Amino acid sequence: MEVIINSDARVASERAARVVARLVREKPDAVLGLATGSTPLMLYEELIRLHAQEGLDFSRVTSFNLDEYVGLDSDHKWSYNHFMWDKFFSRININPDNVNIPDGMVTDIPAYCDAYERQIAQSGGVDLQILGIGADGHIGFNEPTSSFASRTRIKTLTRRTVADNACFFDDDEAIVPRHCITMGIGTIMESRTILLLAFGENKADAIAATVEGPVAAMVPASILQHHADAKIILDESASARLQLAAYYRWVYEGKPEWQQDA
C-alpha cells in the first residue's frame, strides 16, 4: 500500500489522472474499473482535459462500473449510469459497446451478477480500479461486515450510507434506494492496480483505520493492506489522523525517477 498525501483534492485528482493516463497510453485496450460520487469528479475532469488537449485515446478502453442502485433505470437522473454518461463518457471517445454498468432493473439479480463477473473475467480482468471510500470504510457498496471473498451481488445499504447519499437525491433520505448491485471485495481485490481517493476531514477516521488499523471486515477498505499495488491518494484533510503521515510524505518525495507516476 502506497499512501500519497497532496495539498488539496485538485492536486490529488490530477496525480491520480496521470496514473490512469499512463496506463491507457501504455495499454490502449486497458480495462478500467470506475466509481461514481463526488470523489472522482475532478479525476474525470482531468481525464477529459487530457483527451481534449493531449489526445488521450479511450477508443479501445473497456470499463466496468462498481455499482448501481436497484430500481433505477439507466435514464433515471439519479442512476449511476446517467451519472457516468453525463460526467465522463459523453465527453471522451470511449466506445459505448465497451461500457459496462450494472443494470438496476434486472429481474434475476443473482444470475445477472454472475454474468457481470464473467464479463470482467472475459475482458481479461480489471487493470486499474478507481475507488472512493465511505465514512464507515466501505468501498463500492460493500458495507461493514462484508465478506472479503464477496463477488458482485445485491447489498442493503446501511442507514449511514443512505444518509450520506441523500445529497445526491435532493437531500431527501426517503427517496434514496435501499438496495444496490455492487462488485464484491473479492472482485475489487483482483484488480491489478487500485487507486483509492479520499478528500476531506470526514474521511480522516476511515482512512486512518484503512491504512494503519487492523484488517477487519468492520472496515472493508482495510483489506487493501493486502493488495500488491494499492495507491491511497489523499488531500491534507483526509490524512489528518494518520500517525505516520510524515513518513508517507518522506517515502513519496524520495522515490527514484523511474517510479514516478507520470
Question: What percentage of the chain exceeds 90 in pLDDT?
Answer: 87
**Distance from C-alpha of 156 to C-alpha of 246, rounded to nearest angstrom:** 38
- Do 101 and 68 meet the contact criterion of CB atoms below 8 Å apart? yes
Instruction: For residue 140, give the DSSP letter.
Output: T
Give the pLDDT confidence of 128-167 residue by residue, as tens digits. Answer: 999 999 999 999 999 999 999 999 999 998 888 888 888 8
What is the residue extent of each domain of the chain?
Answer: 2-254
Q: Mention every residue, 6+ apart, whose C-beta is less than 8 A from residue 164.
A: 134, 135
Q: Buried b vs exposed e over 219-233: b needs ≥16 C-beta within 10 Å?
A: bbbbbbeebeebbbb
Catalytic residue among 117, 127, 143, 190: 143
What is the number of other CB atoms lying within 10 angstroms of the CB of residue 107?
6
Question: What percentage of the chain exceeds 70 in pLDDT?
Answer: 99
Choose the CATH number for 2-254 among 3.40.50.2300, 3.30.200.210, 1.10.3720.10, 3.40.50.1360: 3.40.50.1360
pTM of the predicted protein model: 0.94
Written as one letter, the residue type at 81 is N
Give the pLDDT confidence of 50-103 residue by residue, as tens digits. Answer: 999 999 999 999 999 999 999 999 999 999 999 999 999 999 999 999 999 999
Give the pLDDT confidence of 187-212 residue by residue, as tens digits. Answer: 999 999 999 999 999 999 999 999 99
117 in active site: no
Catalytic residue among 14, 46, 67, 117: 67
Q: How far apart, in Å, are the Cα atoms of 227 and each of 8, 54, 162, 236? A: 25, 32, 28, 23
In the numeric block, which cell numbers belong to residue 147?
465478506
136 in active site: yes
Written as one letter, the residue type at 259 is Q
Predicted confidence at residue 70, as pLDDT, reads 95
Catalytic residue among 51, 68, 103, 138: 138
Q: Mention every residue, 6+ apart, whose C-beta is less than 8 A from residue 117.
A: 151, 152, 187
Catalytic residue among 136, 164, 235, 236: 136
Q: Buried b vs exposed e over 130-161: b needs ≥16 C-beta within 10 Å?
A: bbbbbbbbbbbbbbbebebebbbbebebbeeb
Nearest to 57 by CA among 46, 47, 43, 44: 47
235 in active site: no
143 in active site: yes
